[in-house]
Structure 1
Amino acid sequence: MAGPGIDYRAIFEASPSATLVLDPAFVILDANPAYQQLVGRTREDLVGRYVFDAFPQDDASELADLQASLRRVVENRAQDVAGFVRHDIEEPDRQGVFAERYWSPVNAPVLDSGGRVSLVVHRLEEITDLVRAGAPDVDHRHRRMQLELYARSRELQQVNERLREANARERAVALALQEAMLPAPQPLAHHEATVRYRPAVNTLNVCGDWYDVTRLPGGEYAVAVGDVVGHGLAAAGVMGQLRSALSAAIRVVDGPAAALDALDLYARSVEGALSTTAVQTVVDPDRRRITYSSAGHPPPALTDPGGEVRFLDGATDPPLGAAPDHSPRPQATTAYRDGSTLVLYTDGLVERRGEDIDRGLRRLADRLAKYHVLDPEELADRLLGLGLAADDTAVVVVRL
């Protein structure tokens, strides 16, 4: 554990805080002198033993609370504070006489280069004077307040644990619903299309993004992406309604703007749908042109066979339902050359907190210029690497 110029072993040995080092299975790897003195055991008594075998608990609830705290550290890779615990320690000058001692355990992870928990630091803060009844040097009202705070802290930890479990269940259900509502794109007669969806990591900020690739009756095909405000099951439900509505509208109306007009009217009647962004394109392979319209969404990117990138930003309007009154949306058309690449995406690919979106668009343009010759599957994977894991991301790549 030594680093340049710092003897971490010496720091560990000299620390006044009673500290154990555990492996991820909670076997004791080391104990500093402060810990040995506090509990009245030598390093040889402790090292190599399962921490709960070294200190068996009379109170099952205390044992369960400490076990849960250590598990949370390993699962969440974050510091956790357990409720206070009691260990009766034999008094050094009175053999067979044990004194009540109470500690507040603080547990923290040590991560390896891959982000996995390699060690757990278990530190004890003694609170015996706060717990022991009748201590003459402790104000009774202050002691009661401290005990109440410890009890509330323990209750809050249990509530947080239940919330984490509930959130994990909701996330799993929402992702399953998302997967069911985002099938593979339909095969295209003239072109090749691929899609990617990456949920956000370690967060409920998932399930608001969608994509759709649809063949139209006249030989054209429609490509769309959208992003619902919100997350979890509620966003997944709204996403499913809007995706289906836009997919139906583009089949029966004349062009992307009319489809987004219909979706705007529909969104005003769906709870949670306002301020959704979406972009709809229609590709005409015979005329080699793309018609598009955007409702507040980042612009599609069109890369020609030589690697020149331009963003289709000539027909952008506010998000769905954002304008006080409904009005017709704009629409634009652009030509393309055989071998060009059309990319639609959600904001998770280009937006970063505290950064102007233009920088994200430049990163995307640079990546497209560099890798545009790759097949759509490989290109989609390269593009997905641009985004951050803090937000879910959808990407559609079409080789024209």
Structure 2
Amino acid sequence: MADAGLIRDEERLRRIEAVTDATLSRLDAADLFDELLDRVRDLLDVDTAAILLLDTHAQQLVATAAKGLEEEVRQGFRVSVGRGFAGRVAESEQPVIIENVTSDTVVNPVLLTMGLRSLLGVPMFARGQVIGVLHVGTLRHRDFTPDDVRLLELVADRASLANSARSNNLDHTAALALQRSLLPTQLPDVPGLDMAARYVPGHATGIGGDWYDVFRLPSGWLGLVIGDVSGHGLQSAVVMGRIRSALRAYALVSDEPAEALSLLDRKVSHFEAGSLTTALYAMISPDRTTIRLSTAGHLRPVLAVPGRPGAQVPAHVDPPLGTGRRSHARRQTVVDLPPGAVLACFTDGLVERRREVIDVGVEQLLDVVRPAPAEEVCATVMAALATEQPTDDIALLVVRRRPAHG
């Protein structure tokens, strides 16, 4: 009999592992948890199964999925950590068994209305922290065994992995969608200029806060921006969106790039504390002959003029945005943009390489940026420098002043 019980337990474990492995690839939370809870009810021979996930801000458990207790989810049941059955599981971070359910042992009226007699709940963990509670119940008295507890803990572990994978995928997808929505879908058609751009998300470390922007100003000047918010993931993309919008607003009230970046620095320091951001803001004159630019910790752009090798613009690099260091006013540089000249602005993902100083990548960029149509320059640069699987976002913005004959 003991051997038969062991075989039964091993079979139950295999069935749990099989179904939870399958759910890891799913993004739909309802499908993911519903299938898991159905299998749990079958394997443990219980009447109800439910998952409550932790709302970390409110420190409350929220009914997220249930089988046999669907009303709990429909009512949006919440319970504070430490209160009621699920709250005690989360607070103690240990399994809790209630052999006889009463109004003194639970606070959720749905459990009493259902007529549940016995409950078993276990915590769900991710990175060592409680993220929720998985519990099962029976309409008849049940003495849950240590084997039942171990099996439910295994299910909780697998559910936590599935939820984390789903959350990471959703965050990555949301960040990518947000980032792409904030990048210009089409660069403006500006007389006298030819423009092209590239954006490649970093796949190894996730989406970051790289962006570029091009906009016309009422004065007739053209604004060019490229920047990089530190970090990766959805939060960096959100911060990037706010900074991008703020810089557009400051560009409307300031005719000087350095002044616009100074205003932006105050905004980032106050409202985006902890977000280190680099940015380059350039303005091209209405007659397209002059560029004013200021850089806040960002790599200097490359300027390729007909008859001369490409070189980085000799601009002063001031501190990044949000550092709080203001030993002197931000500076700006004025350079000529002759007919046929190309300005290439980029983020560090284009020129950084593992085990190489960044100067190596910059030198490679200088070798390939030549006076040519903007789309051709973008294609040449990406073919030469973006040959590896990117570990960081790459943004590239190329502007060329059309030759007098073109």
Secondary structure at the counterpart of residue 369 of structure 2: helix
Secondary structure at the counterpart of residue 340 of structure 2: coil
> What stretches of structure 2 of length at least 5 have no aligned partner?
1-8, 26-148, 402-406
> What stretches of structure 1 of length at least 5 have no aligned partner?
1-56, 74-147
Query: 1:306: Cα distance to partner?
Result: 3.5
What's the counterpart of residue 396 of structure 2?
A: 395
What's the counterpart of residue 26 of structure 1?
A: none
Matches within 5 A, 1:221-232: 221-232=222-233
In the aligned structure 2, how far is the partner of 1:287 from the partner of 1:188?
Answer: 10
In the aligned structure 2, how far is the partner of 1:348 from the partner of 1:269?
Answer: 27
Q: Deviations over 1:56-84 (max 9, x none)?
A: x98354145257659989xxxxxxxxxxx
Contact 1:238 1:273 in 2 (8 A): no
Residue 286 of structure 2 corresponds to residue 334 of structure 1: no
Normalised by the length of structure 2, the TM-score is 0.59
In the aligned structure 1, how far is the partner of 2:292 from the partner of 2:349?
Answer: 24
Q: Deviations over 1:355-386 (max 9, x none)?
A: 211111011111214xx43x322322332342
Residue 250 of structure 2 corresponds to residue 249 of structure 1: yes
Gap change, CA 1:241 and 1:210, over 3 Å in 2: same
Gap change, CA 1:307 and 1:324, over 3 Å in 2: closer
Letter in 2 for 1:250: A
Q: Deviations over 1:162-182 (max 9, x none)?
A: 322211111111111112222
Contact 1:229 1:273 in 2 (8 A): no
What's the counterpart of residue 201 of structure 1?
A: 203
Secondary structure at the counterpart of residue 235 of structure 2: helix
In the aligned structure 2, how far is the partner of 1:149 from the partner of 1:346?
Answer: 50
What's the counterpart of residue 191 of structure 1?
A: 193
Secondary structure at the counterpart of residue 311 of structure 2: strand
Q: Deviations over 1:36-56 (max 9, x none)?
A: xxxxxxxxxxxxxxxxxxxxx
Matches within 5 A, 1:69-84: none
Query: 1:187: Cα distance to partner?
Result: 2.1
Contact 1:208 1:235 in 2 (8 A): yes
Gap change, CA 1:306 and 1:155, over 3 Å in 2: farther
Gap change, CA 1:172 and 1:191, over 3 Å in 2: same
Q: Deviations over 1:82-131 (max 9, x none)?
A: xxxxxxxxxxxxxxxxxxxxxxxxxxxxxxxxxxxxxxxxxxxxxxxxxx
> Percent of pairs identical after alignment?
35
- Corresponding residue pairs, total: 268
In the aligned structure 2, how far is the partner of 1:353 from the partner of 1:317?
Answer: 26
What's the counterpart of residue 369 of structure 2?
A: 368
In the aligned structure 1, how far is the partner of 2:14 from the partner of 2:242?
Answer: 48
Query: 1:239: Cα distance to partner?
Result: 0.5
Letter in 1 for 2:179: Q
Contact 1:294 1:317 in 2 (8 A): yes
Contact 1:238 1:272 in 2 (8 A): no
Runs of 4+ off more than 3 Å: 66-73, 148-161, 323-327
Query: 1:283: Cα distance to partner?
Result: 1.2
Normalised by the length of structure 1, the TM-score is 0.60
Q: Deviations over 1:140-184 (max 9, x none)?
A: xxxxxxxx9999898656533432221111111111111222223
Query: 1:241: Cα distance to partner?
Result: 0.9
Letter in 2 for 1:380: C
Q: Root-mean-square deviation (CA), in Å?
A: 3.1
